[in-house]
């Protein structure tokens, strides 16, 4: 039975990497009690050895050569450098050298997770990536372990704290998108180039990871229908609130009879659903299983210590597996055929906001088009739009296929009486399975 310390090769000493070192060094007694072994950071890969850092480390531990982390005395690679390249090459090389992997890299796992997990199975190595999705929320471990005897039918959640902060401020203060985005950048919640967050790309990567793991299929990023929040207005949010909803950037993954849909989009969530009350930079993921029913996971989605905590938690699992001699048995590559829903098979409720000529017969035209495409209405709100003889019509539909909704939208755009389609959003959360 192994008694010597477990040695870690850490790739990256930025915010998360620094947090990992702090936890490993500061919680050594707790880690030894949990695993039965000491854990040491033996090598740290950085780009610049001379850079000033908030953490004091023995200079002999720091290297700029990745090959130093593949030496026989290193047991586990912790990768927190981010990006796809060279992280992918490093991880595959580490697996070829029999190293276990812990990573926080959502970009890499969303794009190449299936390949990495297959390589891990081949080499009998662990690959854990809890921190890649929702920071300190243990959602991936819950999917693998907590739902191992259940079948997940739906995952829906807020998986990007930046956009949730923006949507919360817009909802609570009635502020415009551009104003709140600027504030988020000043506070450090949003990057100078916020595209990955506000256009939904970050959330889409996380939903690809969740759906791959939850549905056991090789879900690629291209399979995720993605739309961001940059077009959401204060008026949209105001009307949503009047109708009993909050607008959130939601990741939605559903499985019906082995047919799957995965999307990221601004969505109206009924105020009675728990996700509607998740505000600020917090994340929340709602999971529905056939047996267990509804569960929800909530917590901080980013930050040095929440993310580093998830990394070290994975590290503890690897070390426990080493002690038991069961490494490589927890990494399950996708094994089911991927079958995606068509637009005709994707069914939801929808919110439409139209600017129309304020004259008789317009609403009749609109309702006639809806009826022809099997779209019925749940709520209708109409009021003057401005002093130029225009009206604003807000519609919330009953369940309809995306194909029919898109057909209706195209026909509305062709009507002379419809000046503009301001908004088209999905609606979730009133009916609870």
Residues of the chain above pLDDT 90, percent: 79
pLDDT at 394: 97
Residue 302 pLDDT level (bands cut at 50, 70, 90): low
Pick the CATH number of 347-428 from 3.40.640.10, 3.40.50.920, 3.60.70.12, 3.30.70.260: 3.30.70.260
Instruction: Give the lowest-confidence range in 245-259, 292-306, 411-425.
Output: 292-306
pLDDT at 1: 61
Report yes or no: 420 and 414 within 8 Å, Cβ to Cβ.
Answer: no
d(CA 233, CA 172): 13
370: its two tokens: 């809806």
Write down the domain spans for the chain: 6-136+304-324, 140-300, 347-428
pLDDT digits (tens, 9 = 90+) for 326-383: 888 766 678 899 999 999 999 999 999 999 999 999 999 999 999 999 999 999 999 9
Phi, psi of 413 (to 5 degrees): -65, -30
Q: What would the mean pLDDT of 116-137 be, rounded to a whole number?
A: 89
Q: Where are the beta strands (DSSP E) in 95-181?
A: 100-103, 127-128, 152-158
Q: What is the pTM of this model?
A: 0.89
Reply yes or no on whether the pLDDT at 399 is more than 60: yes
Report yes or no: 277 and 167 within 8 Å, Cβ to Cβ.
Answer: no
CATH H-level superfamily of 6-136+304-324 = NAD(P)-binding Rossmann-like Domain (3.40.50.720)
pLDDT digits (tens, 9 = 90+) for 151-163: 999 999 999 999 9
CATH H-level superfamily of 140-300 = Dihydrodipicolinate Reductase; domain 2 (3.30.360.10)
pLDDT digits (tens, 9 = 90+) for 189-221: 888 999 999 999 999 999 999 999 899 999 999
Report yes or no: 80 and 109 within 8 Å, Cβ to Cβ.
Answer: no
Q: Is 268 exposed, middle or buried (0-12, 13-18, 19+ CB in 10 A)?
A: buried
Unique residue bearing structure tokens 């959003």:
425
The H-or-E segment that residue 140 falls in is helix 139-141
d(CA 33, CA 271): 44
Phi, psi of 416 (to 5 degrees): -65, -30
Is 7 known to be catalytic? Answer: no
Residue 20, CA atoms < 13 Å, CB-side half-sphere: 34
Residue 188 pLDDT level (bands cut at 50, 70, 90): confident
Residues of the chain above pLDDT 70, percent: 97
Q: What would the mean pLDDT of 47-55 be, rounded to a whole number?
A: 86
b or e along 391-418 (b: 16 or more beta carbons within 10 Å of the residue's beta carbon)?
bbbbbbbeebbbebbebbbebbeeeebb
Reduced to 3 states (helix: H, G, I; strand: E, B; else coil), residue 190 is coil
351: its two tokens: 């919110």
Q: What would the mean pLDDT of 319-328 be, rounded to a whole number?
A: 88
38: its two tokens: 């000491």
Is it true that the peptide bond before 86 is cis, omega within 30 degrees of 0?
yes
pLDDT digits (tens, 9 = 90+) for 259-278: 999 999 999 999 999 999 99
DSSP 376: -
b or e along 320-358 (b: 16 or more beta carbons within 10 Å of the residue's beta carbon)?
ebbbeeebeebbebbeeebeebeeeebbbbbbbbbbbbb
pLDDT at 300: 79
Chain Cα centroid distance, residue 381: 33
Q: What would the mean pLDDT of 392-408 be, rounded to a whole number?
A: 97
Sheet holding 62-63, edge to edge: 62-63, 39-45, 6-11, 76-79, 100-103, 127-128
Reply yes or no on whether the pLDDT at 432 is more than 50: no
Reduced to 3 states (helix: H, G, I; strand: E, B; else coil), residue 158 is strand
Instruction: Give the lowest-confidence range in 142-146, 381-385, 425-429.
Output: 142-146
Reply yes or no on whether the pLDDT at 181 is more than 60: yes
Which is the catalytic residue, given 43, 99, 206, 422?
A: 206
Separation in Å, CA 427 to CA 80, 116, 152: 36, 36, 21
Q: Is 21 exposed, middle or buried (0-12, 13-18, 19+ CB in 10 A)?
A: buried
Instruction: Give the lowest-confidence range in 108-117, 163-172, 393-402.
Output: 108-117
């Amino acid at each position: 039975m192994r008694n010597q310390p477990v040695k870690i090769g850490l790739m990256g000493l930025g915010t998360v990497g620094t947090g990992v070192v702090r936890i490993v060094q500061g919680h050594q007694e707790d880690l030894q009690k949990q695993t039965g072994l000491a854990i040491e950071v033996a090598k740290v890969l950085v780009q610049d050895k001379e850079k000033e850092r908030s953490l004091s480390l023995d200079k002999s531990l720091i290297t700029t050569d990745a090959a130093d982390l593949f030496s026989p005395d290193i047991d586990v690679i912790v990768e927190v450098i981010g990006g796809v390249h060279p992280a992918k090459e490093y991880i595959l090389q580490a697996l070829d050298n029999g190293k276990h992997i812990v990573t926080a890299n959502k970009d890499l796992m969303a794009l190449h997770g299936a390949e990495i997990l297959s390589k891990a199975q081949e080499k009998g190595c662990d690959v854990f990536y809890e921190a890649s999705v929702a920071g300190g929320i243990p959602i991936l471990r819950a999917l693998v372990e907590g739902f191992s005897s259940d079948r997940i039918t739906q995952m829906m959640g807020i998986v990007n704290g930046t956009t949730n902060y923006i949507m919360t401020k817009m909802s609570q203060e009635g502020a415009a998108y551009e104003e709140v985005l600027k504030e988020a950048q000043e506070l450090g919640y949003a990057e100078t180039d916020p595209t990955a967050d506000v256009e939904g790309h970050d959330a889409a990567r996380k939903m690809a990871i969740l759906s791959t793991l939850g549905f056991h299929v090789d879900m690629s990023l291209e399979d995720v229908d993605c739309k961001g929040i940059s077009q959401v207005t204060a008026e949209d949010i105001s009307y949503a609130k009047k109708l009993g909803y909050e607008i959130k950037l939601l990741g939605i993954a559903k499985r019906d009879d082995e047919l799957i849909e995965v999307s990221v989009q601004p969505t109206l969530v009924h105020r009675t659903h728990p996700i509607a009350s998740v505000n600020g930079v917090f994340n929340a993921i709602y999971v529905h299983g056939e047996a267990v029913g509804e569960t929800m996971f909530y917590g901080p989605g980013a930050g040095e210590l929440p993310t580093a905590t998830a990394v070290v938690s994975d590290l503890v699992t690897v070390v426990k597996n080493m002690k038991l001699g069961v490494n490589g048995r927890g990494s399950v590559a996708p094994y089911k055929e991927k079958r995606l829903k068509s637009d005709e098979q994707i069914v939801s409720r929808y919110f439409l906001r139209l600017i129309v000529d304020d004259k008789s017969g317009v609403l009749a035209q609109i309702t006639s088009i809806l009826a022809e495409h099997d779209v019925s209405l749940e709520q209708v709100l109409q009021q003057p739009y401005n002093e130029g003889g225009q009206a604003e019509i807000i519609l919330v539909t009953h369940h309809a296929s995306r194909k029919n909704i898109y057909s209706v939208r195209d026909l509305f755009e062709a009507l002379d009486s419809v000046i503009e389609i301001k908004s088209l959003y999905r609606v979730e959360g009133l009916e609870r399975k």
